[in-house]
Amino acid sequence: MPVHSVFETAQNACYIKGFSVSSHTDKGSGDVSPMNLLLCAGAVGVGCMFAWDEKEVAKMDQFFKNSIDLLTGARTPGASSVMESFDLLQTGRFWEDRTGNIRKVLENIKLFSEQGNTGRALGKYRLWNLLDEFDVGRLLDGYSHSDVVVIRESDTKVHPGEEDERLYIVIGDGNRIHLQGEYQKLLVVGDRNQVRVLTRRNFIFIEGQENQTITIDEENTVFVSPRSNNGRVYVDGPFGNIFVLGSNTKICILDSFSTVYVGPRSSHNRVYSFNPVNWVWISGDENKIASLGRKNSYFISPVSARNRFYVEGDDNFLHFNGARSDIYLKAGSERNLVLLGALSRNNTVHSENDKNRVRDRGSGNELKPAPSSEKVVQMRPTRVTNYWLNK
């Protein structure tokens, strides 16, 4: 094994002051164990956060397996607005509804992504300037002036009340925003903003540089704009929905049953999944993904290239259709299935043991033992210290 394991690398990537990741302690002690939620979900007894329904998991798996190349192929007539889609997406754990609304969201993301790259320089806060032009402008449909709060400030604290159901739009830099209620909607445009979400079923739209979002409850949705860079998203609650169209974003999944979508124009993102049963879809280039949990499903689009994938967990499913990517199956991993699809080409699978399965249906792909000199430390990011989290 290399000196630096995938887990140690990801642990450093997701480190925040007062919010560490450990492979030994339980969540109740303040640390997150990559395996404790799997044990909890599979048990019938005291302390379970939610039941692991195999039928629900299978349905979600099948949805993603059938939808890799189809969801954003074309925008269907009458597709709902982004906000309407997210409203429906956050109605609970009804998987039929959830899969249908993920489809609508991705259709709108494709439209927004295409129209958002016209090359027109309209100033720093482009989202605000273009609200009336793009489909995302329909976010405000159905809202009266009394339903919207616009805050143009920098370096200030924004704490909407628990019962406040108004749409908050915060424009500025260095703000600290704290959501304490449910079903709250927040649009943040600016740089170096910090958003902390302690409750469930909230919607957060982020645009700008070096923004940070932390969700510590279930069923929250985070949308990172195509014009975002160097951001961080921490998901410490189940059933999250994370849509990243920006670049250089670090995404840490510290719970289960979440979906992560990395868009086709995004690149140099890092995705770390510590817990079981999450779904990750990669469509961009030069991303680094570390799978440390069990029974996660990963799907790499045909338009994706030059990604690096590190697998240290067990029973994961990787469906590769991209090009010129490297997959590292670490020595401690077992029973993982790597499917190199018909559209995959020139990928390399580095396997440190014979306990995983690789199926090659593509062209120019190669399977070889990982060189002993390969060190995961190459993907080690800068350690993050967040003094604000405990305030």
Mean pLDDT throughout 112-138?
Answer: 39
**Long-range interactions of 305-312: CB distance < 8 A, separation 24+:** 307/282, 308/379, 310/6, 310/9, 310/376, 310/379, 311/6, 311/336, 311/356, 312/5, 312/6, 312/7
* Per-domain residue ranges of the chain: 1-79+226-391
Cα 286 from Cα 170, distance rounded (Å)? 31
Least trusted range by pLDDT, from 54-58, 148-152, 281-285, 383-387: 383-387
Give the mean model confidence (pLDDT) for residues 174-181.
Answer: 94
CB 325 within 8 A of CB 306: yes
pLDDT band at 210 (very low <50, low <70, confident <90, very high): very high
Residue range 86-96: average pLDDT? 54
* Average pLDDT over the chain, rounded to an integer: 71
How far is Cα 48 from Cα 51, in angstroms, rounded to an integer? 7
149 versus 285: the higher-pLDDT residue is: 285
Mean pLDDT across 76-88: 56
Percent of the chain with pLDDT over 70: 58
The mean pLDDT of 60-82, rounded to a whole number, is 56
Copy the structure tokens of residue 246.
């920006």
Determine the pLDDT at residue 298.
92
Environment class of 223 (CB within 10 Å of its CB; exposed 0-12, middle 13-18, buried 19+): buried
- C-alpha closest to that of 108 among 141, 67, 136, 143: 136
- Report d(CA 171, CA 323) in Å as an integer: 39
The model's pTM is 0.73
Pairing of strands 326-329, 308-311: parallel
Span 311-363, pLDDT tens digits: 999 999 998 888 999 999 988 899 999 999 888 999 999 988 889 999 999 99
| Interatomic CA distance for residues 109 and 183, integer angstroms | 21
